[in-house]
Amino acid sequence: MGLELGQIITQIIGFLIAIVILKKFAWKPLLSMLEERRNKIKAEFDTIDEERRKTGELQADYQTKLKEIDSLTRAKIQEAAQEGQIMANQIKEIARNEAKEIVTKAREDIGRDVEKAKVQLRDDVVNMTIQLTGKLIGEKLDSVKDKDLVARLVDEMRKGKVEGFK
């Protein structure tokens, strides 16, 4: 079986024709498909890079807003604490004023009670003195005159005009 030159030349020509046909009809569409695919992949990478950049910006904005919210929250807490302190001071002041009023009223009440007690004591002393005087003298004097006389005597004793009684 020998190699025939005609057959080899025919095969070479057929092979060259196949290469030309493939180059014209298959190679260009194949290259354009590969180029399209490469462009599509590049576009996707560009989109991914853009999304990463946007995500980074959003994350930075988010962190900034969180810091603002945190500082605002701290400011509100401080403001509330100051308001609470002011209210506590106001309540203390109101309590002090009420306590002063209660003490003042109690002093006034005590003063009135002391005066009532003095009057009652004076009247009791007058009545006892009248009874003792009546027993000592043995007769009953006029009650109105007796009371006036003894009341004057007690007042003079209190003022120190009568010795031995203060």
Read off the pLDDT of residues 37-61 as tens digits, 9 standing for 90 and up.
Answer: 999 999 999 999 999 999 999 999 9
Backbone angles phi, psi at 59, to 5 degrees: -65, -40
Query: 129, 150 in Cβ contact below 8 A?
Result: yes
Q: Look up residue 66 and give its two tokens.
A: 């969180």
pLDDT of residue 74: 92
Predicted structure pTM score: 0.41
Read off the pLDDT of residues 139-157 as tens digits, 9 standing for 90 and up.
Answer: 555 677 767 777 777 777 7
pLDDT of residue 139: 52
Read off the pLDDT of residues 110-138 as tens digits, 9 standing for 90 and up.
Answer: 998 888 888 888 888 777 777 777 666 65
What HEC string does the chain produce?
CCCCHHHHHHHHHHHHHHHHHHHHHHHHHHHHHHHHHHHHHHHHHHHHHHHHHHHHHHHHHHHHHHHHHHHHHHHHHHHHHHHHHHHHHHHHHHHHHHHHHHHHHHHHHHHHHHHHHHHHHHHHHHHHHHHHHHHHHCCCCCHHHHHHHHHHHHHHHHHCCCCCCC
Average pLDDT over residues 103-109: 91
Residue 140: partners with Cβ closer than 8 Å, 6 or more residues away? 134
Handedness of CA 93, 98, 101, 107 (dihedral sign): negative
Query: 96, 102 in Cβ contact below 8 A?
Result: no
So where are the chain's domains? Answer: 49-159
Determine the Cα–Cα distance for residues 103 and 96; give it in Å rounded to an integer.
10
Taking every pair of C-alpha atoms in the chain, what is the biggest distance, in angstroms? 189
